[in-house]
């Protein structure tokens, strides 16, 4: 946690603590190895370091939920982030994301991606 916070501070990226750690700080149950640092959308790319990306856990989540993700909507929402577009390409090239016979994203829509209103 100290390394992540220091990296954000060094890059002058504003952030807040969120998720289970924030809930714990306010009296909730103790978290298990979970840290959610939230940054404003305008600073999201600055918060990512292309030399230290680790997709291990995210790939596991993607594999588990791949049929439930509205990928056309996700792709549209990710269009402004080179990191998100790279991840989408990665899961497609690894064969994790379902595709149709022409290699296009399969449009199984069990879960709808909800925008942030921006």
pLDDT in tens, 47-100: 766 556 667 777 888 888 877 778 788 888 888 888 888 888 888 888 888 666
Share of the chain above pLDDT 70, in %: 75
For residues 43 and 57, state if they share a domain: no
For residues 5 and 34, state if they share a domain: yes
CB neighbours of residue 69 within 10 Å: 21
Q: Please give the average per-residue pLDDT across 18-37, as a whole number.
A: 80
Domain range for 78: 53-118
pLDDT (0 to 100) of residue 103: 52
For residues 39 and 21, state if they share a domain: yes
For residues 59 and 101, state if they share a domain: yes
For residues 40 and 58, state if they share a domain: no
Task: Tell whether the model's pLDDT for residue 110 goes beyond 60.
Answer: no
Alpha carbon distances (Å) from 89 to 23, 44, 79, 93, 94: 34, 19, 12, 6, 9
| Helix-then-strand count for the chain, H and E | 6, 2
Can you give the pTM of this predicted structure? 0.46
């Amino acid at each position: 946690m100290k390394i992540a916070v220091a990296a954000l501070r060094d890059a002058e990226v504003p952030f807040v603590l969120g998720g289970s750690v924030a809930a714990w700080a306010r009296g909730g149950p103790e978290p298990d190895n979970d840290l959610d640092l939230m940054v404003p959308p305008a600073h999201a790319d600055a918060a990512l370091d292309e030399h230290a990306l680790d997709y291990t856990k995210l790939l596991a989540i993607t594999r588990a939920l791949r049929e439930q993700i509205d990928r056309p909507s996700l792709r549209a929402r990710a269009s402004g982030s080179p990191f998100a577009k790279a991840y989408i390409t990665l899961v497609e090239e690894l064969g994790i994301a379902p595709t149709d016979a022409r290699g296009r994203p399969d449009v199984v829509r069990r879960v709808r991606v909800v925008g942030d209103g921006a």
